[in-house]
Amino acid sequence: MDFNLEQGWEILPIGGDTGTAYMAVNNDERIFLKRNTSPFLAALSLEEIVPRLIWSKRTISGDTLTAQEWLNGRSLKRNEMCSLQVSKLLYRLHHSSLLKKMLLQVGGQAYTPADLLAQYFNGLSDDLRQHPLLHDVSSRLKEKQPQLERSNYEVCHGDLNHKNWLLSESGQLYLVDWEAVKLADPALDLSMLMCQYVPRKDWKQWLERYEKRLPTAEMMMRINWYAMINLLLVIKHNYQRGHFHEMNQDIIKLSQVIKNQNYI
């Protein structure tokens, strides 16, 4: 495609699922390019949650091209996801009035518990639909959906895999890959991170550090609800891909989550 850059720039594709990310190189200068990124990126840059946005422009082909500061760094390791730096950045994301305002302006939609349940049941195989544990959990989740007011929904990243956290060489932490961003109960993000990386016995301690106060019983209930629906969605995803070992491991994890809590 025509990137419409000045002469001397070499464009190199960066591996990824979408095929829309590139590194542009000109002598010792590097920038990160991406096609058709949401205009929400500008607000994320202002809040210093993503690397600095340099410019954004429309190409001859009609695509939107954005350029960001290229930062040498690395993704976080799994054992770094419990760090104070992670919880601080996530708290800033979930409590930014600017980000919430901007996401609404660019058409961001609210994502409710009912939406997650619909996503799980849509196209669900008979094998999973009839599985005793999965059937019991999904039935209870339908009955006990969190009732947080939509006015309290916040910007949620939606995919807090450790590979989506960028730690620069200077020690600055960023969140990248915003394709799944949505307005939702912050417990949606929190449960994703905690289920994957925080030992169950440390959940309350991690939340106390995130919220700067002891989590309420109501907050724990919401996190437990989202933790279970997220596990159901991962189980469904692994089943559809034929990754049955991973699916069975997640079913075991789901049974442990139920065992270690007052099952909503």
Interior/surface letters 144-156, b for 16+ CB within 10 angstroms, e for the rest: ebbebeeeebbbb
Upper half-sphere CA count for residue 227 (Cβ side, 13 Å):
28
- Phi, psi torsion values for 124, nearest 5 degrees: -65, 130
Q: What share of the chain is helix, strand, coil (3-state, %, to 5)?
A: 45, 20, 35
User: How many angstroms separate the CA atoms of 124 and 33, rounded?
Assistant: 37
Q: Which residue is catalytic, options 159, 177, 185, 202?
A: 159
User: How many angstroms separate the CA atoms of 233 and 239, rounded?
Assistant: 10
Residue 82 CB burial class (10 angstroms; 0-12, 13-18, ≥19): middle
Active site residue 159: yes
For residues 181 and 157, the answer to whether their CB atoms sit within 8 Å is yes
User: How many angstroms separate the CA atoms of 140 and 134, rounded?
Assistant: 10
141 contacts: CB under 8 Å, gap ≥ 6: 113, 117, 225, 228, 229, 232, 264
Question: What is the rounded (10 degree) CA torsion for 18, 229, 108, 45?
Answer: -60
Angle between helices 203-211 and 217-241 (to 10 degrees): 120
Angle between helices 203-211 and 84-94 (to 10 degrees): 60
Residues designated catalytic = 159
